[in-house]
Amino acid sequence: MADNSSQVPTNRLSRFTGLATLAGRVAGGMLAEGARQLAQGNRPSSKSMLLTPANIKRVTDQLAHMRGAAMKMGQLLSMDSGELLPAELTELLARLRANANPMPAKQLSQVLRQELGEDWQQHFADFSFKPMAAASIGQVHQAYHDNGDKLAVKIQYPGVKTSIDSDVDNVASLLKLSGLIPAEVEYQSLLTEAKKQLKNEADYLQEAHYLQRYRQYLASDDAFLVPEVYPALSSANILVMSYVAGEPIETLQAAPQAERDRVLGLMFSLFFRELFEFKLVQTDPNFANYLYNRQSQQLVLLDFGACRDYSEQITNGYRALFACACDNDFAGMEQALTKIGFFSQNILAAQKTAVLNLVELACEPLRQSSAFDFGQSDLALRLRQAGTALSMQQNYWHSPPADALFLHRKIAGLYLLAARIGARVNVRQLLEPYLH
């Protein structure tokens, strides 16, 4: 098998050069494709020029090599399909959800020595140098503790923290250059929020703290399995946890209907508990953050880097929003959205109506008193189209408040997963206890 590991570029200049070169090559690729199509008598669209196989490969290869914020930013944006980006760009960025290239063993040893000392191996009875997974900010290795416990060791790529600001700005420049984000779009506030979120995710001590909070919240609930932190071996760049077994959540596609329904029901009920009880939400909807353990029939929760605390005002705003959506109360929905922080900028009456229609559409499963069949519904597609129409036709590029944006990503991710595995869930019934 070919070794696809690659040294993570750690200094700002090499990272900037990487992205600048990429932007130039993508633009060059677009021009070449445009000229080719003109020569054939076709009038090229920006979509056909951008989405050539060569360009897709350039972008995904470069960002997979850089890892860190550049890749995470691509993943973040690709999850916000209808909310902010044109479909062409979403399609391009969606390729980034695959694994990153792992670090070579030499660079990995260097990080372990820096974090755990020259004799770092004394902490483990066994340590596997081949990663189980390589993602945007770090990679995960299997190991055994001296006491025999099986461990999962998450190790951050070097230089990720210090490169976040410049990486995010560079990716923004790349997107602007592609011409797919209209020149008038004000997305600076979203970039600021992305930087803040990424810095949180790159702090493994913070993640360990969130992980311990979830273990406490779910201690008496046997339906969930949450790893245990080993604080003595963890630092801001290394997170050592107990190893938890499970299969990728998508494997439920082949499970009996009742099992699919039960597991997705667990995910929706957990989301409502997060929002209304814990006031702490794990906002990253990536499918890889969940496993399913068939033996114990437990839902395994992984990766708590993207957790976000929610204020009483926001949670009460959503309680009111969901209650009004269930009753088709448009005036009440508008009031609730205003309380959450929408409509704070100048907005035309038609745009406000379009936002309310979009939210009403998103609440479709809540208005049904029986199980909603996600597998048979085209809700995700309709949401995507309505979001794109709002931004492109209504010219409404006002970003929702950050708290809302991350929450909506999570809800969209749940809908997407429920549709992927064909689950039927009575969402209204799960929400009901929190509305009164």
In 3-state terms, the chain is what percent helix, strand and coil (to 5)? 60, 10, 30
Provide the 3-class DSSP secondary structure of residue 135. Answer: coil
- Pick from 312, 333, 314, 311: which is nearest to 322 by CA? 333
Measured between alpha carbons, how far is 242 from 216 in angstroms, rounded to an integer? 16
Indicate if 284 belongs to the active site.
yes
Q: Which residues of 294-325 are buried (b: 16+ CB within 10 A; e: fewer)?
A: eeeebbbbbbbbbbbebeeebbebbbbbbbbb
Measured between alpha carbons, how far is 315 from 319 in angstroms, rounded to an integer? 6
Report CA 245 to chain centroid distance, whole Å. 22
Report CA 289 to chain centroid distance, whole Å. 9
- Contact indicator for 398, 337 with CB cutoff of 8 Å: no
Neighbours of 97 (CB within 10 A): 17
| Joined tokens for residue 223 | 């339906």
Measured between alpha carbons, how far is 262 from 269 in angstroms, rounded to an integer? 10
| Joined tokens for residue 323 | 């209650």
Measured between alpha carbons, how far is 309 from 223 in angstroms, rounded to an integer? 23
Catalytic one of 80, 167, 261, 284: 284
Q: State the greatest distance between any 2 C-alpha atoms of the chain, in Å, as a whole number.
A: 71
- Contact indicator for 172, 193 with CB cutoff of 8 Å: no
Measured between alpha carbons, how far is 26 from 51 in angstroms, rounded to an integer? 10
Measured between alpha carbons, how far is 123 from 424 in angstroms, rounded to an integer? 46
Neighbours of 425 (CB within 10 A): 24
* Rounded alpha-carbon distances, angstroms, from residue 246 to 18, 134, 195, 237, 268: 37, 17, 32, 25, 20
Positions marked catalytic: 284
